[in-house]
Every structure is written in structure tokens, then in C-alpha cells.
Amino acid sequence: MTMAAGEPVGAELGQRQPPCSVDFGRPLVCVLGLPFDAIDLEQAVQRIRAAAFAGQRCFVSTSNLNFAMTARVDAAFRGAVLRSDLNLADGMPLVWTARLLGLPLTQRVSGADVFEALRAHGGPPITVFLFGGPPGVAERARGAINRGGSGMRCVGFDDAGFGTVESMSGDDRIDRINRSGAQFVIASLGAGKGQAWLERNAGRLTAPVLSHLGAVLNFAAGSVRRAPRWMIASGLEWLWRVKEEPSLWRRYWHDGACALGLLMTSVMPEAIAAWRARGRDTQAAAPARLEVSHLPRRHVLRLSGDWRSDGGVEALRLALTKSAAEWGASLQVDLAGVTGLGNASIALLLVARGWFDAHGGLDVTGASPVLTASLRRGLVADALLGGAR
């Protein structure tokens, strides 16, 4: 099957997307090598509450600059982010980068803001279990949450301590969380350990919504004060965090230095390339085309032409959705005929990388040296052409 940009694809792939456990219909953009959901705070809260009350799994990542930097050097961590059902941009540097690239990621959606919006919601309360944090913090956070009433009720907590992911994953501990009946498990173990713990135990936890929300427990318990609203809005919350927790300065220094280097070597060249592309003759470019082959337990997507516009994105969404619906099937994406990949297509392929690496395998083949160089400049070559783990 071959489809050009703008061609109807319903007759070939079905008018309705077949059911699967990964949503390729999400509005996604790729920033600093990670796919982000281009939604605002209200939409994020709606998604989380809908999943919680429908009993639908929603693994939420609130990725900041540290997530993006860690994902560049830690394949397992990157894979966990790519497999998120919702990845929110929890950092103004990500929003500023998106604006520079002309991407529709217009608002920071922090884990702390999501938490407070859920607490303030006027609907039936979402039930949460707090996992992690320094000794005593989760218990104090539970008291504060339940005294506040309204949109959230804490049904249990576990300080967890400072063990390994494995030692924190015993049957008794997981059973205790499940017996609480929580709809939302909030972990606070440090980003790397928290993501790893949630991924390891996602199949054993009955709560539909899972997320690592960092300092949220400290904020709720009152052990750490959050920055004034004006500092948050202006992107200066990190300064306040360093004042409250001086040990954070090393992380912010490291991440800031790395981000500055990427600004010069990747972001600015990408922004210049995008600016130049706006003036190119789109009629001269070969249209984006997609050929789909369904083999026993294996699907092959052959892309060709220029995918830098959004013309072929809907066809790609449908093809990936149908491939993911066959549980355990592997996928090959052949880029041999592709002259360029746009941001939306890259974001979709990153999500596909995360999903298929865990459910059958993904091979991305045929990228030309020019395309590979472009993907490397966009900070996605390792993930797309290598793997997310």
C-alpha cells in the first residue's frame, strides 16, 4: 500500500484506529531529543483524571532539562520516558527551545502544578498513594492532602527508605499499595530511580495512573517551600530551589552547561534550517509517501520523499497504530527513500521506538548519511537508529 500526503487512508487502514495500549494520536513535538505532549495544564489534568476514573493505564513523566540531559547518556532512562503515556514539559528551557524552533509547546506544565490542580479540582476526589520521600515527609503530605479535601484524597503512604529499586519492589510492598485502592501512585525517589521503579512495577500495580513527581511530596508536607508565582512564571524557579536545597546547584550547573552547548551545536542550527525551509519551493520536493507491508508477526513501513511538512503525519499515525495493535509483532521502518523528516514525524517515531522495543522490537533502517546527520543534529539519531532499550 502506498499513500501520498493528503490521500485518504481510511479505506486501507480502517476508519477507526484499532485498539492498542499506545496512543499515536497524541499531539507531540520533539524537543532536545524527547517527545513531549503539546498540551496545557487543564488538558493534562483532564487526561489524568479521565484515566484514573476509567481505570486506563497512564504513565506520566514530567520531564525537565535534567530528564533531557540524562536521557542522552542513559538508554534505560530514555526508554522509560519514550514509553510514557503522557510526557509533560516541566521546565522553561524546554518551552524556550520549542519557541525558538517554532514548535507548538507554549506552556510549562510542571508536576507540582498538576498536583495542585488535581487537589483543587471540584469533581470527585482522585485517590493517591505516596511512595518515597525522606522519612516522615509522605506522612505529613498525607495529612496536608486530606485536610485540604476537595479533589484529592490520600489513601496510603510508604517512606520506602533508600534501598535499591529491587529491594523496594517486594511483593508485600506492592500488595500494600494495591490494597489501598489508589487510582494514582506518586513516587518520589529521585528521577532515575523513580522512573525505573515505576517501569519495573507497572505490570504489578493496579493503580491506573503512575508518575514520579519529584519534590511534590516535600512541597505538600511543607518541608520545602515552592518559589513565588512570579519566579515560576519567569523561569527563575531554579534559583529558589537552590536557595531551599543548596545541594541542587551541582545538577543545575551541569545541566545548564550541557544545554548551553546544545544550544550552539544543535538548537540554533535546527532553528536556522527551519527558517530556511520556510522559504523553499515545496512544489519541487517529492511528496511524503508511505508503503505498508503486513507480514506474519512483522510489519514494514517504507517511507519515501520529503517528510519535513506535516502532510504524511496522519498516515504515519494510523500505520503505527495498526502495527502496535498486533501484540508482540515487530516493526521495521525503512527510511531509504526519505530526504527529510519533520519534527512531528520524529516525535511519533520516538514513541514507536519506546513501544516496540518493549513489545516485539523495532528496526529503523536505510537512513542516508545526510538524513543521519540531520537526526544527529536534532539529538535523536541514537534513539531512532540505535534503540531506546
CA of 187: how far to CAs of 82, 226, 356, in Å?
18, 18, 26
- Domains of the chain in sequence order: 2-11+286-386 (3.30.750.24), 21-254 (3.40.50.2300)
For residue 40, with 0-12 CB atoms within 10 Å meaning exposed, 13-18 middle and 19 or more buried, which class applies?
Answer: middle
List 86's β-bridge partners, or say none: 60
For residue 369, with 0-12 CB atoms within 10 Å meaning exposed, 13-18 middle and 19 or more buried, which class applies?
Answer: exposed
What the block records as the C-alpha cell of 14 is: 480502517
Residue burial 182-193, b: 16+ Cβ < 10 Å; e: rest: bbbbbbbbebbb
What parts of the chain have a pLDDT lower than 70? 1-20, 278-284, 387-389
pLDDT of residue 106: 87
Per DSSP (E only), the strands in the chain are 2-4, 28-31, 34-37, 58-63, 86-89, 126-132, 152-158, 184-188, 209-212, 289-295, 298-307, 330-341, 362-365
Element housing 75 (H / E): helix 75-82
Q: Residue type for 298, please?
A: R
Predicted confidence (pLDDT) per residue in 250-296, tens digit: 888 998 999 999 999 999 998 888 777 766 655 567 889 999 998 88
What the block records as the C-alpha cell of 150 is: 476537595
pLDDT of residue 7: 36
Pairing between strand 126-132 and 152-158?
Answer: parallel
pTM of the model: 0.90
- Euclidean distance between CA atoms 89 and 41, whole angstroms: 10
Spell out the long-range contacts of 38-43 with Cβ–Cβ below 8 A and sequence spacing 24 or more: 38/103, 38/104, 38/105, 38/106, 39/88, 39/109, 40/106, 40/107, 40/109, 41/107, 41/109, 41/113, 41/114, 41/117, 42/117
Q: How many CA atoms lie within 13 A of 107 on its CB side?
A: 13
What is the layout of strands, in order, in the sheet containing 152-158? 86-89, 58-63, 209-212, 184-188, 126-132, 152-158
Q: Name the DSSP letter for residue 168.
A: G
- Euclidean distance between CA atoms 302 and 163, whole angstroms: 46
Predicted confidence (pLDDT) per residue in 81-119, tens digit: 999 999 999 999 999 999 999 999 989 999 999 999 999
**Dihedrals phi, psi of 221, to nearest 5 degrees:** -75, -20
- Euclidean distance between CA atoms 227 and 244, whole angstroms: 9
